[in-house]
Structure 1
Amino acid sequence: MKFGWALIFSALCAASNAKAEQGCPPGQIPATANGSITSCGPIPSGYNEQQDSAAPRPSGKWIKTWGAIAMGSIDSIFSYGVTTGKLSKSEAEKDALNRCASHGEKDCKIGLAYKNQCTAIAEPKVNGKPFSTGLSNFVGAGTTVEASNVALERCKADNRPTPGVECKIIYEACSEPIFKAY
């Protein structure tokens, strides 16, 4: 009797396995039409692999900004007007000129306008004081380090004939992009 029950149990297990397999040989899957299995077909490549999700949609955009440097003087003393983060070149130049003139200078001029860059001002000094007849240098570059290095090199070269001149970085900044969400 025990043998009979074991035989029935084995038959039921085999029947359920056969049903789960649905009669397709290894390497094939059931193909259906109108909800009923009609045949078996080969497993497509990538069938068991995780599907890539769709590329992420951007949530906004980066807007490049402008910066500018203006320079003027009062009684041979130079003054600067600087700005960053403006949306247009004209806006940056206007703001730099206004900042320069806010000290009382009447002869402010744009020395440099730059977009999505960094800048540095190198100024010649003698005995630690600004050298009024020397040439300052404004440089735009990818980083403040690059801009500072080039500005110092140019300042030293432009003011080399004057003994005792040392060039110093007196300003450095970057006009960073602004993220605008959609």
Structure 2
Amino acid sequence: MTSIASRWLLIGLLLMAAPIAHGENGCPTGFLPTGGAPSAQDPGACRPMASYEQQQAPRSPPPPPPRPVPPLEWKPDWGAIAWDDERRTIGSVVEAPTENEAKEGAMKDCQSKGGVDCRLVLAYENGCGAFAISDAAWGVQADATEIGAEVYAVRACTKTGHQECHVLFKDCSRPNGFATP
């Protein structure tokens, strides 16, 4: 009988000791206790398991934040159209770096083609210009697209009551590269 009682006593002692035993002695997964056994007063320290350390990437300081980049702006390119109504001469320039250079260039182009009484009729930036004409009227317009400039120039010409307007000139002065900040 003693052997049965001692077995029950051993089982009872093991069951009472079960709550004291912790997996890895209270350390988180992947860590082992260091030093003595932990207690309620001294939970002890934990160190990573060797295999756990190998799985973790080495810690390095975070990279510095990226430097702010100033926004890019297109270089302006200008176009202009000059017209001599009496001699029906048109002058134009595209991709001029400034508005004044575009205007002067269009006037010079008109005069070089035989225009005497040339006058500036359109200056535009980073877009397209078109000049439409009929036997007795004309219209000029700028737009972001070549087809838009053509349509609006013909409309401007036909608003005077002339239906036989056609495009005499069209060209675009688009941005060419980026301006330096």
Q: Aligned pair 1:80/2:78, yes or no?
A: no
Aligned sequence identity (%): 27
Show the 5 A alignment for 1:32-181: 54=66, 57=69, 61-73=73-85, 76-124=86-134, 131=135, 134-160=136-162, 166-180=164-178
Using structure 2 for the length normalisation, give the TM-score.
Answer: 0.59
State the shift of 1:106 in Å: 1.6
**If you compute each CA radius of gyration, which structure gives the higher value, 1 or 2?**
2
Report if the CA contact (8 A) 1:121-1:137 is conserved. Answer: yes
Q: Aligned pair 1:21/2:30, yes or no?
A: yes
Return closer, same or farther for 1:22/1:156 CA change in 2, 3 Å cut-off. same
State the shift of 1:159 in Å: 3.7
Residue type of the alignment partner of 1:66: W
Q: Which 4+ runs in 1 deviate beyond 6 A?
A: none
Count residues with an aligned counterpart: 126
Using structure 1 for the length normalisation, give the TM-score.
Answer: 0.58
Q: Pairwise CA RMSD of aligned residues?
A: 3.3
- Higher relative contact order by CA 8 Å / sep ≥ 6: 1 or 2? 1
Q: Secondary structure at the match of 1:94?
A: helix
Name structure 1 gaps, 5 residues minimum.
1-19, 25-36, 40-50, 125-130
State the shift of 1:58 in Å: 6.8
State the shift of 1:117 in Å: 1.7
Return closer, same or farther for 1:88/1:54 CA change in 2, 3 Å cut-off. same
Distance 2:132 2:67 in 1: 46
Name structure 2 gaps, 5 residues minimum.
1-28, 34-45, 49-62
By percentage of residues, which structure has more strand?
1
Distance 1:157 1:85 in 2: 30
Distance 2:112 2:179 in 1: 35
Q: Secondary structure at the match of 1:148?
A: helix
